[in-house]
Copies of this chain bind each other. A is one copy, B any other.
Amino acid sequence: METKKVSNNMLARMPIYLNYIKTLPQETKNISATKIANALGLGEVSVRKDLAKVSDGGRCKLGYPCEELIKDIESFLGIQRKMEAVVAGNGEMLQLLLSYDGFGPSGLDILAGFDANLKEESVIGEKVIYPMEQLESFFENKKVLIGIILTSVGDAQDVCDRMVSLGVEGIWNFTPIHLNVPEHVVLQNESFTASITKLRMQLQEKGEEV
């Protein structure tokens, strides 16, 4: 996959395109940006630009061959290549993330969970949650690329440091604090507060009393 600068909005639209194209009737061999834009209520220009960024299969008047476009979007999203991850957290929030089934399209493969409050292994769905002190032994035989942090604010930096020293290359931080990571580690912050504030600002622009 070639790395190109893309916007958050474009990244968010990609799985939506994928979902839509995959649910088209089997006899649909080609699909145009216009048709996708109309079906999803999106701007035609955005859709056209998005697709041009991930696929060069578009043909004048014909559009994109559906099969090729699916493959190109999947390749863009990296679905074929798994990224192994572990998640550290507490109780319910940890279980939530482990039982969330929407990570498929992203290639994220959560291997296990770790909970500081746990004394013994526990199982949720097909995933095992280990006591936090087993983090180091778990990493002994495995390559883990991503550490997901859902712990309490007080534990977050310590858990992050342990994961980094065990070799993770990326940290996905769900806590509302800033984590310090070495230069070679990628940090991605997930902020519900930011989303809600954005929603509030857009409502204000529309003249809502919020």
Q: Choose one: B13, B41, B95, B203; the contact of A96 (CB below 8 Å).
A: B95
Identical subunits present: 2
Assuming the A-B contacts A41-B178, A206-B184, are A77 and B197 also in contact, with contact meaning beta carbons closer than 8 angstroms in the complex?
yes
Assuming the A-B contacts A196-B83, A199-B186, A205-B3, are A210 and B102 also in contact, with contact meaning beta carbons closer than 8 angstroms in the complex?
no
Bound Cα distance A149, B176 (Å): 22
Q: Are A11 and B188 in contact (CB under 8 A)?
A: no
A20 at the interface (CB under 8 A from B): yes
A192 at the interface (CB under 8 A from B): yes
Q: Are B199 and A170 in contact (CB under 8 A)?
A: yes
- Given A11-B197, A105-B193, 5 other A-B contacts at CB below 8 A? A3-B204, A13-B178, A40-B180, A78-B210, A95-B96
